[in-house]
């Protein structure tokens, strides 16, 4: 009997320390009861009474100082001027890009016309006819083996012939700067 008493004391102390949990046997669990919602009573809201000094401070904070109003007006005008300048620059860029596009189209057309005119001029010249006229009418002859004179030009690749070329082929000698 003493063992049963100790076990019941042990169980009761265990249940009190674990907030008296209940065991449910079976597969159904009891649902908790839903408590009705309380509708709070509406009480009229009373505005807290503010002191005269606080009301004056609020009034002063809501009013705009004339200097501040002037600053805001100048800032607004400045912002509008910046927007107008920006829109004008944007308009100039668009018009210039359109102008560049028109000029590029005109250049392409002129290049095409130039190429066409060049092809017409090149096709109109018959080189065989030019050679026949040069040889037969003007008396030109082809260069023979002994008629070609080679020479060295000390100054540049381009030479204007003002006099006959000397037999040795040297037109001018550069000075020797070491003397």
Q: How confident is the model at residue 154 (pLDDT cuts 50, 70, 90)?
A: low
Q: For the full predicted model, state whether its pTM sits above 0.85.
A: no
Q: Tell me what the mean pLDDT of segment 72-87 comes to.
A: 97
Give the whole-angstrom CA distance, residue 157 versus residue 17.
Answer: 116
Q: Please write down the HEC assignment for all residues of the chain.
A: CHHHHHHHHHHHHHHHHCCCCCCCCCCCCCCCCCCCCCCCCCCCCCCCCCCHHHHHHHHHHHCCCHHHHHHHHHHHHHHHHHHHHHHHHHHHHHHHHHHHHHHHHHHHHHHHHHHHHHHHHHHHCCHHHHHHHHHHHCCCCCCCHHHCCCCECCCCCCCCCCCCCCCCCECCCCCCCCC
The answer, yes or no, to whether residue 14 has pLDDT greater than 50, is no
Residue 51 reports pLDDT greater than 70: yes
Number of structural domains in the chain:
1
> Is 37 inside a domain boundary?
no
Task: Give a yes or no: residue 102 inside a domain.
Answer: yes
Does residue 156 form part of some domain? no
Containing structural domain, residue 88? 63-144
Look at residue 138 and tell me if it is in a domain: yes
Asked, for residue 118, whether it belongs to a domain, the answer is: yes
Q: What is the largest CA-CA distance in the chain?
A: 157
Residue 91 domain flag? yes
Residue 139, pLDDT score: 80
Tell me the average pLDDT across 106-124: 93
Whether pLDDT at 134 is above 80: yes
pLDDT tier, 17 (very low <50, low <70, confident <90, very high otherwise): very low
The answer as to whether 16 is a domain residue is no
Instruction: Tell whether 108 is covered by a domain.
Output: yes
Cβ–Cβ < 8 Å for 2, 8: no
Is a pLDDT exceeding 80 seen at residue 57? yes
């Amino acid at each position: 009997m003493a063992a049963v008493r100790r076990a019941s004391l042990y169980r009761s102390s265990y249940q009190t320390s674990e907030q008296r949990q209940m065991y449910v046997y079976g597969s159904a669990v009891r649902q908790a009861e839903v408590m009705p919602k309380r509708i709070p009573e509406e009480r009229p809201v009373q505005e807290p009474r503010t002191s005269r000094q606080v009301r004056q401070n609020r009034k002063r904070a809501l009013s705009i100082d004339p200097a501040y109003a002037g600053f805001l007006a100048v800032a607004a005008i400045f912002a509008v001027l910046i927007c107008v300048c920006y829109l004008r620059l944007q308009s100039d860029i668009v018009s210039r890009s359109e102008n560049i596009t028109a000029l590029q189209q005109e250049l392409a057309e002129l290049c095409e016309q130039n190429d066409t005119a060049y092809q017409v001029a090149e096709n109109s010249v018959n080189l065989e006819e030019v050679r026949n006229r040069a040889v037969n009418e003007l008396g030109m002859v082809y260069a023979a083996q002994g008629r070609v004179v080679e020479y060295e030009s000390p100054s540049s690749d381009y030479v204007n012939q003002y006099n006959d070329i000397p037999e040795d082929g040297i037109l001018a000698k550069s000075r020797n700067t070491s003397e």
